Amino acid sequence: MKIKSLLFGLPAIILSAMTFASCEPKEGETDTLSVEPSDAIVFQASDNEDVRLTVTTTAKDWEYTAPEWIKATREGDVLVVNVKENNTSEDALLGRISFTAGTAEPVNVSVMQDGLNGGGTVDPETVPATLLDASGNNDIRIEMAKELQVNAELKLTLSKASTENVEVRVAVDESYISEYDYIHGTSSVILPADVYSLSVGGTKLTISAGETEVAVPFSFNGESLEFGTQYLLPLKAEVISGNASFLKNSDARVNYAVTRKSPRSCKQLCVMEFNDTNPLNVLTYKLEDGSYFFDALVLFSGNIGWYPEEDRVAFNKRQGETSINTNTTALVNDAEKFLKPIHDAGIKVYMGLMPHHTYAGLTNISNWGCVEFAKEMAEIAKDCYIDGFFLDEEYTGTHGGPMSSQWKRTSSDNTYGNGESYMAYQLWKQASAVCDWPIDVSYFQYGLGFGQVTDHEDNSVHHVSEFCNCVMANYGGAGRPYDDQTLAQCCGVSIECARGYGSSASAIKEKMDAGYGWGAAWFAWDPTNYRALKSLISETAELCYDSKLVEPTVYYKKTGQGQYDDKPYEY
């Protein structure tokens, strides 16, 4: 990953003009500035002594900036420098200390620290090189939807001009894909060569002597890509000739993760009763263009409870029980099999959160408690490839007795927003901090109503559209926007598949045309029985998306309590 070098400086000390009167340059002359020693400073990985730099100038004063890993202390006209910490990496650190004074030309002193055990030792004569995308990053995610032609640009940069030409070859490094997936928790396939316009055998970049950078534009064309698959273009650079070097492996790598997503502006929400159905079944309904019919899956529902044994609100636990629901436990414990394939396919996975007959309702947990519970859910989201949460407040009860005072919501908590809003905001905030993918919050608009919140830690104000992207109404109704939301964050139709509270394709189309961002929510959908509503889904696909539903040929079984099968079965 690209590491930004943070700079810091010491405010100039204003001294008496009389002290330097004899040193001031005459009109038309410039100040002078020199630093001794001016040679590059090379620190070892550990156990370094201070280096003293003497500054001489005709200006009234001088200033400096240094990399964040350098410790610098000014003693009069001497700057005492050292490294802050031992280097525990094989990579060397490289930067420069810059001195400025009045109108004098700045003076730069290169500073380096060797890698651990001598790894990455820096040659002071070597010019450090970096390969990045033009955006300034080396890990780039490209999502193609309506626009399947995407332009990009590679940029090779030297830290200073070289005295000779520098030639670098950039080529695809297919062997890196397994390491990339391990680091990012993804499942990628190599991007086909006909999708990008770089040379398959490698692209040569040349920086002429006296120059510091060169850029090469190229493009992606995603027309042949499958929906939901993450493709990876892992590029690696190597110096062919010249006195440049990539001091860190990350400096020589740029990775483009490319996915093709559904171009539909209006989405479909599957609210699945996973006590009855295998979540993998959402992968079985596709349209003719290869996109999935469902854009998001709600796992209905993971429960929350008051757990007095440990004095906390907990996910899937309440008094006297190992777990509230063994089906929830099975999915969370085996997320690689049953949730990751859905997440990787580009279908959002939302964990339902509903109080299970305890006082731990979404509306009555303290702000402190919201933060603590949200932190637990953030780790579950990261480990289980969950893209967000779906809140439902229907079954608050008294099991386990009252919550302790630190967990119970008070009137002072409400000064920062109501309980459900604060819980939604913290779920979004805490999960966004640990997950490498965007986090959404949605909710069942039955006894819940969101409003803006103020973060009690920094008093920042957050409107509903920032942390809530989907509002589902009760069956037969349509979602209503709150605060700064629009219909784009609302679901137009709610369908109860299990009880036959249906709708029509024309009703869904009407809501979509009116601006609803979610056409319908399909509750308790199950393709293995009468809950499939395949004819209604087919009509919706043709009327709303001008595409036919491909006849599904396989399904996935739920084989028992807490038991799912990841093997596809033919109908």
Q: Which residue has the higher pLDDT, 348 or 106?
A: 348
Give 78-118 pLDDT, tens digit per residue: 999 999 999 887 777 877 898 999 999 889 888 888 887 65
- For the chain, what percent of residues have pLDDT higher than 70? 93
Q: Give the per-residue pLDDT at 106.
A: 87
Least confident of 23-27, 161-165, 193-197, 305-309: 23-27
Look at residue 18 and tell me whether its pLDDT is greater than 70. Answer: no
Q: Please confirm whether the linkage preceding 67 is cis (ω < 30° from 0).
A: no
Identify whether the C-beta of residue 549 lies closer than 8 Å to the C-beta of residue 540. no
pLDDT at 446 over 50: yes
pLDDT band at 237 (very low <50, low <70, confident <90, very high): very high
Contact at 8 Å (CB) between 370 and 423?
Answer: yes
Query: How far, rounded to the nearest angstrom, does the alpha carbon of residue 560 sit from its chain's CA centroid?
Result: 35
- How buried is 134 (Cβ within 10 angstroms: 0-12 exposed, 13-18 middle, 19+ buried)? middle
Summarised one tens digit per residue, pLDDT across range 2-11 is: 333 323 333 3
Collapsed DSSP state (helix, strand, coil) of residue 312:
strand
Predicted confidence at residue 16, as pLDDT, reads 32
User: Model-level pTM?
Assistant: 0.72
Mean pLDDT over 504-529 rounds to: 96
Q: Note the pLDDT of residue 185.
A: 80
CA angle 439–443–444, rounded 5-degree value: 160
- How are beta strands 63-66 and 253-260 bridged, if at all? unpaired
Mean pLDDT for the chain overall: 89
The percent of residues above 90 in pLDDT, for the chain, comes to 73
pLDDT in tens, 125-180: 678 889 999 998 999 999 998 889 999 999 999 988 888 999 999 999 999 999 99
Paired tokens of 343: 């997440």
Let me know: does 403 contact 359? Beta carbons within 8 Å.
yes
Q: State the angle between helix axes of 505-513 and 534-545 in degrees (0 to 180), rounded to the nearest 10.
A: 30
Q: In which band, very low, low, confident or very high, does the pLDDT at 120 lie, cut at 50, 70 and 90?
A: low
DSSP for residue 391: E
The pLDDT of residue 335 is 96
- Residue 224 phi/psi, 5-degree rounding, is -90, 0
pLDDT confidence of residue 377:
97
Does residue 358 sit in helix, strand or coil? strand
Distance CA 531, CA 497 (A): 5
Given a cut of 60, is residue 471 above it in pLDDT?
yes
**By the 8 A CB rule, do 363 and 419 touch?**
yes
Q: Residue 14: what pLDDT?
A: 28
Give the contacts of 309 (CB within 8 A, at least 6 positions apart).
Answer: 319, 320
Helix H or strand E segment including 341: helix 340-344
The amino acid that residue 197 corresponds to is: S
How far CA 106 is from CA of 9, 30, 37, 78, 161, in Å, comes to 14, 12, 15, 16, 16
Higher confidence at residue 460 or residue 249?
Answer: 460
User: Nearest 5°: phi and psi at 27?
Assistant: -55, 130
Lowest mean pLDDT among 12-26, 290-304, 400-414: 12-26
Average pLDDT over residues 264-289: 95
Strand-pairing partners, residue 213, are 157
Q: Which residue has the higher pLDDT, 110 or 459?
A: 459
pLDDT band at 527 (very low <50, low <70, confident <90, very high): very high
pLDDT digits (tens, 9 = 90+) for 209-236: 999 999 999 999 999 998 889 999 999 9
Digit-coded pLDDT (tens) for 205-214: 999 999 999 9
